[in-house]
Amino acid sequence: MRIKRIAIDGFGVWQHLTIDQLADGMTVVYGPNEAGKTTVMQFIRAMLYGGGAESRRYLPPVGGGDGGGLVEVANEFGRYAIHRRWPAAAEGEGSAPTLTIVDDRGEARDASQLAALLAGVDEATFQNVFAIGLQEIQELGSLDDTAAADYLYRLTSGLDRVSLIDVLRDVAAARQRLWNEHDPSPSRIAQLLARKKQLDAQLARLQSQTEQWLELSAQRRRLAEQARQLDARIAELETQARLLRLARDVEGPWRMRREVQQQLELLKDVRPLPERSVQRLEALVARRAAARRRLKRLARRRRELAAELDKLSVQSLLLKHAGRIESLHDQSAWILGLQNQVAQLQEEVARLDAEIEAAVSGYRASGSGPIDELPREAVSTLRRPAQVLREATEKYEQAKQEEEEARRALVAAVAQYEEVSRKRQLGDLNHAIQEAGTRVSLLRKRIQIEERIDQLTRRRQELEVECTELAPAEEAPSPRPSPAPAEGEMPGRADVIRFFLQLFRRQIGAPPTAPADFQQLQIAPNGIHRIYELRVRLGDDWVRRRMTIGPIGEEGGSKSTCYFVIFDRHLVVKIPPRPIRSFDDYVAGLKKERHIVERLAPRECIVPQVAVILGMVHKIASCLEAPEEVREDTYIQWLRKNPEHQEALKIGGRFAYFMDLSRYYFLSQILEDLHETGSLLQAEIATLPEWVRQPEKFRERYGAEHESLGFEMREFFLRCEAELRDLVKRRGLPAAAAAYRIQGWIVEYLLRQDVADMENTPAGVREAVVACLAGRFAENRGLLEAYQALIRGFARRLALEQNRTAVAGIVSHLLDLLAWLSARGVAMRDLKPDNLLVAGDPANYPAFLRTPAEYTLGFIDVETAVLTRPEGEAPLRQPLLGGTPYYATPANLFPNPVLEAALRELPRALHLQDWHAVLVMVFKVVTGDLLFERTARLFAETKAQVIEALRGKEDLRGRFEEASRAFWQSAASEFRLRLRAAEPLLRRIEADLGPAARGLLTRTLKHETKLLEQRIRSLVASGNPFASSPVAGQLLSCPSARIAALKKELEARTSGAPPSSSLKERAAFLERLCALKALCERKAALRARLEAEGHIRLSAWEILIVLFNSVWLGLHREEWAATGEEAPSGEPGDELSLATTI
């Protein structure tokens, strides 16, 4: 091996030194003292052997930076470049340098290549034989005769005290064995030469085969090129054939067009039509024809329904008693059962009367004295049975009275029925009840048909109004500015409605001064959105249309004012907190988000666009079929040329942003639908009368632990029922006291705190019933609140069970979204359900939620996002500060320099802000609740403090530490509390992990495991009170269970005595060490699961613990822990405690 080139990047005093074209013979490096000659020799030694203690004193380089360089060597097989690098940060930590070997073909080689190049020469041989420096020469020149003799003796003794004479003797013997001079048999060299000839012949044969292979390969490439050329020719001919077919197909229309063009040239006075007029006219004609066909179908269906309705004969008597008839029919079996029970009880009472009479007669016959003179013991014994007998007698008398009243009512009803039967010629009662039930069903069907006719009539009127709107306007009039709110006041809902009212004017071609107004019609079923009617005067008629509007982000405290609007399509209207009045600033705000969208592609992203609004009122023919970016740029240029139309983008005198959500759904709305329990609550409360009669059903449905609550509710319900029955009787309304009606009143009041189903009752009855129920409910408020809490919890669990697959799918998608952001190097920093969209087939909603592969999650509005891996050498940009309180951390409010100084890893800190938001969303997806309601209040306080500090130009680092300490102490406590309360629900949901999420969690767990291992080593090395104990050596290697056992042994040995300070110190150390080891073991075990299993699912409980601990480790410093902060339990099984272990 020969050294051909030396390049020193940094070593000792040398930096960027290159020595090229070294000769094959001897090379002498000379120069004055301290010039660096020895440094060059030590550099060669370090590059070849990695450097020992002698080379370490040259690192790091005097000029700073990384140490290292390359040595290029050559042998009979080629040239090799040996690279070594000593990172500056690794100095002092014992880290090995990096070694890279590259051959002359540019291919990397492993470390074994270096051993082959050195040919067995170890570092000691190199130092003693080849590395002769100035020091050795100077030492030889200063020796006296004795020292020189000793030095020469050591040289003749060899490196390992072996005599050179012996070495020469061994060499001669080896030469004899190789040449075999005194033996007629072939020598070893002759054998090797014969073997060489065989190998040469084999190489020649292989060379010939290689040439044949190269020739075949070249022939194959030529054939492939010819095939490619033929394919291109075929494609060209197919294109020409398609063009010819198209030309043939359009020949007829083209000739017709030419004839029409000639006719148009003759008609020179024809007024030119607006752009795309023909297409619009055809579309309008088609819509009008479709509307007429639909109107004809509706009219025909109306006539059919009217004819069917006329055939139904309705009797007022049946209509009046419809409810009673239905109740009688439904409860006939129950009434017969009660009659049988009454008969059995009467028989039992008669039997008991006979036994009592017999007993009394026997007592008198025995001559024991009168019955009033019974012994005291007998009286005390009979007192309880007598009381029971008296109560039973009273109940029996009351039952007999009610039976008599019922019998009289029955006789009256039978007489009335017989009279009606005689007049109407009816059959038996059962047949009459069935016939009456059939008529009641037909009556209900008639009522439904009438309601449907009313709906169709209203729809027909709406279609007629739409037909009046089909006349297109030729020219869009210039908009009139919307009335602006007061200076500094944010535009509200009314300003947004006025904006769309002005937009409606433009759509129908009304003058800007045309009278217009709006009014609220109703509130949408979700209770948030409101439906308005817009009205504009056009000529002699009022043109009407509807719009829906509702706020977005009120729950999360978003700083921008956002509205969801339905106006021709689903829109998001966003009004920035700071007014934007310059069009250039507005356009800059639109375009700055494009690079984020490009980085996130192909994920769905919705960003503000001017084309969303302008496309409704002004069509530009050249960009109708163009891509979104081209269409957006075209509209922006058009607005620059026509600045008067910029007012169409302003609400309240300031520019607003508009986003099209027509093809997507808000994740927040989907979560509301999944956790909507109103109908389930009503259904559960409606079953109250049923399990009042059958208490065992309450226990079966809600559990044995709530059986006592069921009995209390039963007693309460029966008391209310009895009081209402007495009340209506006192009012002289016995017919209204039917059990099913009274039960319905109680259920209705329990649902709505009112009773509306009081038809055909005199004035004052309803008020009396409501007052009675209000008093009873107020007296039993605690009982009713406990019952409602039970029902709400049951309804929530039932809703979660019904939507279990959809909830698990959304959790999986959230983790995939987090992995996508990490892979793309984007931190959104304001993730929340209102800023996420769900992209799926609208025709299959909500069914597609049950199949995660049928939909994806995307982003709405990326103004707070930042690239954590910028292009090229660009610095990491400072993003907008802020966030939504329930989903943000203090890190969202502080600039990059503060985060980098406190948390060190700035990109990771920015990504962990998204981790925290996903953590909160996963909890909300499963439970429907927010995770950090109490802690979120600290966010608003921190925001006010940051604003105050910025105004006073204070140092924000102290503020950040103070805010983080308070925030994370509260978050850890609230996390443990909320997860412990929701543990059954969270463990019930299991989400599949996709490859991206799985890889992200694996990498994160690996990184965090290393951090924890470093902290364990640091804890054992620096704060170990067992340093002099025999167990000190086991602390690093033993598992957490062993540490916990040591702690228990320590406590057991000292039980009964007051703990000393050293004992407390040792116990605290073991508890801390046990918690760190348990957390490290848990992360390692989960990482092994992620790496080993083919298909893996994690429960929402496990996911939340992993996410929170990762955020906790990344955004919280150990030294920030406040005095008195809750310490981890140290028990390996306490997952919630481990999740908040620093």
**Comparing 295 with 422, which gets the higher pLDDT?**
295
Contact 1069, 1031 (CB under 8 A): no
**Comparing 172 with 503, which gets the higher pLDDT?**
503
- Angstrom distance (rounded) from CA 120 to CA 98: 22
Position 298 scores a pLDDT of: 82
Same structural domain, 624 and 770? no
Question: What integer is the mean pLDDT of 724-735?
Answer: 72
Contact 992, 1125 (CB under 8 A): no
Same structural domain, 694 and 772? yes
Question: What integer is the mean pLDDT of 131-140?
Answer: 67
DSSP state of 868: S
Question: What are 810-862's pLDDT values in tens digits?
Answer: 999 999 999 999 998 999 988 999 889 998 888 888 888 888 888 999 988 78
Token pair 């997507």 in the structure block, residue: 664
Same structural domain, 792 and 813? no
Torsions phi, psi for 101 (to 5 deg): -125, 125
* Beta-sheet pairing, 17-19 with 2-10: antiparallel
Instruction: Give the ranges where 321-477 is alpha helix by DSSP (H).
Output: 322-330, 332-365, 376-424, 429-468
Residue type, 77: F
Question: What are 148-189's pLDDT values in tens digits?
Answer: 666 666 655 555 555 566 777 787 777 777 776 666 677 777
Q: Given pLDDT bands bounded at 50, 70 and 90, which one contains residue 474?
A: very low
Question: What are 578-629's pLDDT values in tens digits?
Answer: 888 888 888 888 877 777 888 888 888 888 888 888 888 787 777 767 787 8
Question: What are 784-821's pLDDT values in tens digits?
Answer: 888 888 888 888 888 888 888 999 999 999 999 999 99
- Pick the closest to residue 751 from 773, 779, 718 (CA basis): 773
Position 472 scores a pLDDT of: 38
Question: What are 341-360's pLDDT values in tens digits?
Answer: 677 777 777 777 777 667 66
Residue 209, phi-psi category: left (phi > 0), alpha (psi -120 to 50), beta (remainder): alpha
Question: What integer is the mean pLDDT of 512-529?
Answer: 80
* CATH label of the domain that carries residue 831: 1.10.510
Strands of 721-796 (E only): list them: none
Same structural domain, 947 and 1082? no
Contact 1141, 1116 (CB under 8 A): no
Position 432 scores a pLDDT of: 61
Same structural domain, 766 and 897? no
Residue at which a domain ends, from 131, 146, 162: 131
Instruction: Report, in angstroms and rounded to the nearest whole number, the Rg of the chain calculated over CA atoms.
Output: 46
Domain extent at residue 792 = 673-801
Residue 1120 resides in a domain: yes
Structure tokens at 1042: 């062993």
Q: Does residue 481 surpass a pLDDT of 50?
A: no
Q: Does residue 317 surpass a pLDDT of 70?
A: no
DSSP state of 14: B
- Angstrom distance (rounded) from CA 562 to CA 530: 15
Question: What integer is the mean pLDDT of 330-339?
Answer: 60
Q: Given pLDDT bands bounded at 50, 70 and 90, which one contains residue 321?
A: low
Contact 497, 652 (CB under 8 A): no
Position 189 scores a pLDDT of: 79
- CA separation, residue 944 to residues 40, 558, 830, 890, 963 (Å): 61, 15, 19, 12, 11
Question: What integer is the mean pLDDT of 362-372?
Answer: 52
Kind plus residue range of the DSSP H or E element containing 535:
strand 530-538
* CATH label of the domain that carries residue 112: 3.40.50.300
Contact 15, 47 (CB under 8 A): no
Structure tokens at 745: 């009143």
Same structural domain, 436 and 481? no
Q: Is 4 helix (H, G, I), strand (E, B) or coil?
A: strand
- Top mean pLDDT of 121-125, 518-522, 912-916 is at 912-916
| Domains identified in the chain, total number | 6
Position 822 scores a pLDDT of: 92
Position 479 scores a pLDDT of: 41
Q: In 10 A of CB 657, how many CB atoms? A: 23
Contact 1107, 918 (CB under 8 A): yes
**Comparing 1079 with 1025, which gets the higher pLDDT?**
1079
Cis ω before 1059 (30° cut-off from 0): no
Q: What is the 3-state secondary structure (H, E, C) of 1113-1135?
A: HHHCCHHHCCCCCCCCCCCCCCH
Position 1057 scores a pLDDT of: 63
Token pair 């009816």 in the structure block, residue: 426
Position 1123 scores a pLDDT of: 41
C-alpha 244: how far from its chain's center? 54
Residue 377 resides in a domain: no
Question: What integer is the mean pLDDT of 1067-1080?
Answer: 84
- Angstrom distance (rounded) from CA 960 to CA 954: 12
Q: Does residue 557 surpass a pLDDT of 70?
A: no
C-alpha 534: how far from its chain's center? 38
Give the least confident one: 100-114, 431-445, 508-522, 796-810: 431-445
Question: What are 1043-1072's pLDDT values in tens digits?
Answer: 888 888 877 776 666 667 777 777 888 888
Q: In 10 A of CB 201, how many CB atoms? A: 10
* Beta-sheet pairing, 605-606 with 856-860: parallel
Same structural domain, 433 and 446? yes
Torsion sign across C-alpha atoms 989, 995, 1000, 1001:
positive
Q: Given pLDDT bands bounded at 50, 70 and 90, which one contains residue 133?
A: low
Q: Does residue 294 surpass a pLDDT of 90?
A: no
* Beta-sheet pairing, 67-75 with 17-19: unpaired
Structure tokens at 345: 């009880």
Same structural domain, 540 and 683? no
- Pick the closest to residue 159 from 118, 117, 123, 135 (CA basis): 123
Position 914 scores a pLDDT of: 93
Contact 43, 17 (CB under 8 A): no
- Pick the closest to residue 3 from 124, 136, 131, 134 (CA basis): 131
Average model confidence (pLDDT) across the chain: 78
Same structural domain, 512 and 609? yes
Contact 613, 648 (CB under 8 A): yes
139-170 core/surface letters (b: 16 or more CB in 10 A; e: else): eeeeeeeeeeeeeeeeeeeeeeeeeeeeeeee
Residue 862 resides in a domain: yes
Structure tokens at 30: 């000379």
Question: What integer is the mean pLDDT of 676-685?
Answer: 80
Question: What are 206-260's pLDDT values in tens digits?
Answer: 999 999 999 999 999 999 999 999 999 999 998 898 888 888 888 888 888 888 8
Residue 176 resides in a domain: no
Q: Does residue 511 surpass a pLDDT of 80?
A: yes
Contact 539, 509 (CB under 8 A): no
**Secondary structure (DSSP) of 42-66:** HHHHHHHH---HHHHTT-S-TT-S-
Q: Does residue 473 surpass a pLDDT of 50?
A: no
- Angstrom distance (rounded) from CA 967 to CA 942: 9
Torsions phi, psi for 606 (to 5 deg): -110, 120
- Angstrom distance (rounded) from CA 974 to CA 935: 8
Find residue 533's DSSP bridge partners.
519, 546
Residue at which a domain ends, from 750, 781, 801: 801
Residue 401 resides in a domain: no
Q: Does residue 540 surpass a pLDDT of 90?
A: no
Q: Given pLDDT bands bounded at 50, 70 and 90, which one contains residue 364?
A: low
Same structural domain, 808 and 952? yes
Question: What are 1111-1132's pLDDT values in tens digits?
Answer: 988 888 877 764 444 444 444 4
DSSP state of 276: T
Q: Identify how many contiguous H helices and E strands the chain contains and give both numbers.
A: 38, 22
Q: Given pLDDT bands bounded at 50, 70 and 90, which one contains residue 413?
A: low
Report the alpha-carbon angle 189-191-193, nearest 5: 70
Position 811 scores a pLDDT of: 94
Name the percent of the chain lying above pLDDT 90. 11
Residue at which a domain ends, from 88, 109, 131: 131
Question: What are 917-959's pLDDT values in tens digits?
Answer: 999 999 999 998 898 888 888 887 888 888 888 777 788 888 8
Question: What integer is the mean pLDDT of 440-445?
Answer: 59
Question: What are 746-773's pLDDT values in tens digits?
Answer: 888 888 777 776 666 666 777 888 888 8
Token pair 């409860």 in the structure block, residue: 331
Report the alpha-carbon angle 560-562-567, nearest 5: 155
- Angstrom distance (rounded) from CA 69 to CA 82: 8
Residue 204 resides in a domain: no
Contact 485, 492 (CB under 8 A): yes
Token pair 């429907």 in the structure block, residue: 928
Same structural domain, 1100 and 1077? no
- Angstrom distance (rounded) from CA 399 to CA 386: 19
Residue 1134 resides in a domain: no
Q: In 10 A of CB 1103, how many CB atoms? A: 26
Question: What integer is the mean pLDDT of 185-206?
Answer: 85
Cα of first residue to Cα of last residue in the chain, in angstroms, is 55
Same structural domain, 580 and 460? no
Position 1130 scores a pLDDT of: 43
Position 379 scores a pLDDT of: 55
Q: Any residues with CB less than 8 A from the CB of 255 and at least 6 apart, and which?
A: none
Torsions phi, psi for 830 (to 5 deg): -150, 45
Burial of 649 (0-12, 13-18, 19+ CB in 10 A): buried
Residue 145 resides in a domain: no
Residue type, 34: E
Structure tokens at 86: 């000593």
